[in-house]
Amino acid sequence: MKNPEITLRPATPVDEPFLFDLRKATMDEHLERAGEPADEQTHWQRLRYRFNDAYIVCCGSEKIGLFKSFRDPNEWTILQIQILPTYQGRGIAARLVGEFLRQADDAHVSVALSVLKGNRAINLYHRLGFHVVNTTDTSLQMRRG
């Protein structure tokens, strides 16, 4: 599977159990390392935050991840990218973020995101031109453009 067909579709309430399991599988390690809450209530709150901006990442008909973002007039924000562990390392997140950045470039807007310290996605964001604009005890705020 060199270049699988990756598509996005809007998330629906039916996807919530998948998204909860996905969040636990992809975020628990990072949250625990950062000293952030990883309890069920916190996962559900984060999952439902800006739910209307959530898209299910599909490989064919299989749900493999989440891409959540929003677009303000002067800056777009990537809120969450989560890819099932069995699909990580295949360039899927890079393709999703790359396409989002191409659209942002066409719209002449910058893109912001926040990432937990120690998350290997930081390397991807640096490669894609993001730079750190602020830090907290647990995360980096990054921007491109």
pTM of the model: 0.92
Average pLDDT over residues 37-53: 93
Nearest 5°: the CA angle 44, 48, 50 is 150
Domains of the chain: 6-144 (3.40.630.30)
Average pLDDT over residues 91-106: 96
Contacts of 145 (CB under 8 A, 6+ apart): 101, 104, 105, 109, 110, 111, 129
Hey, what are 29's tokens? 């390690």
Q: Which residues on neighbouring strands pair with residue 131, listed in sequence order?
A: 143
Q: Which residues on neighbouring strands pair with residue 59, listed in sequence order?
A: 6, 62
Sign of CA dihedral 37, 40, 45, 46: positive
Task: Assess whether pLDDT exceeds 80 at residue 3.
Answer: no
**Residues 6-32: tens digit of each pLDDT:** 999 999 999 999 999 999 999 998 888
pLDDT at 114: 96
Distance, CA of 126 to chain centre: 15
pLDDT bin (cut points 50, 70, 90) of residue 54 is very high
Task: Assess whether pLDDT exceeds 80 at residue 4.
Answer: no
pLDDT at 51: 97
Alpha helices in 1-145 (DSSP H): 16-34, 40-48, 92-107, 121-127
Task: Assess whether pLDDT exceeds 50 at residue 52.
Answer: yes
